[in-house]
Amino acid sequence: MVNPTPRERASVQELIAKAGNNKRKKVIEKIIPIILFMIAGVSVLTTIGIVATLIFETVTFFRQVPILSFIFGTEWLPFSNKEPRFGILPLIVGTLKITLIAVVVAVPIGLAAAIYLSEYASDTARRIIKPVLEVLAGVPTIVYGFFALTFVTPVLQTIIPDLKIFNALSPGIVVGFMIIPMIASLSEDAMSAVPNAMREGALAMGATKFEVAMKVVLPAALSGILASVVLATSRAIGETMIVSLAGGSTPRFDADFTGSIQTMTAYIVQVSTGDAGYGTPIYYSIYAVGFTLFLFTLLMNFLANRITKRFREAY
């Protein structure tokens, strides 16, 4: 019997080691998808748990308060000693006031910044401006709230003497400043993704740089721009600290922007930090208002997906 040479013995050992490595790789390949599925399942289960909690507690609220008076009521007086009223419309109107002002402020400035960064800014200017926008996005919202209350409101009172200390204008403007980086950054990314060949073709046809930006790049990146606007709008709807500090706590069903208001998020903060007893209509109203806020966000995301899909098909 011929004994194997050291080289042959080494090659056999290598084959055995490779077979063992292959087995380990197969086991790892089987385990990894399971681990990833479990990680993804955590986020799904968390979402289901949040929605289920909102629905369950909201149903409990509507067992104590008629749903029609909640949806169509124009008075929100949950702490009234005589007859508490839970009409959600004043809170919705307050939320829409802040959102409208914020969008009017943020969209033109954010898009202008995005166009400049994408089409006009040099590499040096872009390296300076983008980090500044990112710093602006990282400022805590409570700082924005005190800024609105102690600086923006006094400045606006010099222009509008009848403006109250707590109002819709000041927090709306500051919320607009807060969401500018979101619109500018996402819109700039969408514009930068437009192929340079489209720009060069338009310039070759005699278009100016501004015409290229407005008539070529902007329409081509419209789906991404709309997505950034919708995302920023959802952020404005859900803003809490700024409106709690500078907006006031007076639910009003009117079109006045100079007086105190209350948004849905501000009411949740007010009750969460108050003395609402467990099991009372005031306690369960938190979940009803939160569920209403959830429906607003869900509807906006649905509309955004439909609009974005249509513009993608068009361009």
* Structural domain contains residue 134: yes
Lowest mean pLDDT, pick from 1-15, 143-157, 278-292:
1-15
pLDDT at 8 over 50: no
* Structural domain contains residue 135: yes
* Structural domain contains residue 30: no
Rg (CA), the chain: 28
pLDDT, one tens digit per residue, over 75-129 is: 888 877 778 888 889 999 999 999 999 999 999 999 998 888 888 888 888 888 8
Check residue 3 and give its pLDDT: 56
pLDDT at 314 over 60: no
Question: Where residue 11 falls among pLDDT bands split at 50, 70, 90?
Answer: low
* Structural domain contains residue 33: no
Check residue 97 and give its pLDDT: 92
CA dihedral 46, 52, 57, 63 (to 10 degrees): 180
For residues 52 and 273, the model is more confident at 52
pLDDT at 173 over 90: yes
Considering its fold, how many domains does the chain have in total?
Answer: 1
CA dihedral 227, 228, 229, 231 (to 10 degrees): 80
Check residue 186 and give its pLDDT: 86
* Structural domain contains residue 110: yes
Check residue 79 and give its pLDDT: 79
For residues 249 and 173, the model is more confident at 173
Check residue 126 and give its pLDDT: 82
CA dihedral 169, 172, 173, 174 (to 10 degrees): 120
Partnered with residue 86 across adjacent β-strands are: 76
User: Phi and psi of 85, rounded to 5°?
Assistant: -125, 135
Element housing 85 (H / E) = strand 85-86
Expressed as residue numbers, the domain containing 298 is 76-312
* Structural domain contains residue 210: yes
* Structural domain contains residue 9: no
pLDDT, one tens digit per residue, over 177-196 is: 999 988 988 888 888 888 88
CA separation for the pair 67, 80 (Å, rounded):
19
* Structural domain contains residue 270: yes
pLDDT at 293 over 80: yes
For residues 23 and 94, the model is more confident at 94
CA separation for the pair 97, 95 (Å, rounded):
5
The overall average pLDDT reported for the chain is 82
CATH of the domain at 304: 1.10.3720.10
pLDDT, one tens digit per residue, over 247-280 is: 888 888 888 888 888 889 888 888 877 666 777 8
Q: What's the whole-number mean pLDDT along residues 282-301?
A: 87
